[in-house]
């Protein structure tokens, strides 16, 4: 049985996904963006703040 594969490079600033189907070369997954398609999407592993100055999110 053949299976497809997904590869993820979860980076500090950007994340890239690749897809490979049986018998085909792997290719990057593209995402829609305001400036056109991109092969990397923004990501972040962590944010640090001082314990005496916690950050409060105002996003809904």
Domain range spanning residue 18? Answer: 5-42
Instruction: Answer whether residue 56 is part of any domain.
Output: no
Assess if residue 48 is contained within a domain.
Answer: no
Residues in the chain: 60
What single DSSP character describes residue 39? S
Q: Is 38 part of any domain? A: yes
Better-scored residue on pLDDT, 26 or 56: 26
Residue 49 lies in a domain: no
In a domain, 55, yes or no: no
> CA-CA distance, 46 to 37, in Å (whole number)?
26
In-domain check, residue 21? yes
Pairing between β-strand 14-20 and β-strand 27-28 as defined by DSSP bridges:
antiparallel
Q: What is the pTM (predicted TM-score) of this model?
A: 0.59
Number of domains in the chain: 1
Residue 26 falls inside a structural domain: yes
Q: Across residues 2-25, what is the average pLDDT?
A: 90
The proportion of the chain whose per-residue pLDDT surpasses 90, expressed as a percent, equals 43
Whether 9 maps to a domain, the answer reads: yes
Asked if 6 and 17 touch (Cβ cutoff 8 Å), the reply is yes
Half-sphere exposure at residue 24, Cβ-oriented, CA atoms within 13 angstroms: 13
């Amino acid at each position: 049985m053949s299976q497809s594969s997904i590869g993820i490079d979860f980076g500090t600033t950007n994340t890239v996904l690749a897809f490979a189907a049986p018998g085909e070369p792997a290719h990057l997954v593209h995402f829609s963006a305001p400036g056109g398609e991109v092969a990397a999407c923004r990501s972040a592993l962590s944010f640090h703040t001082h314990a005496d100055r916690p950050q409060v999110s105002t996003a809904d």
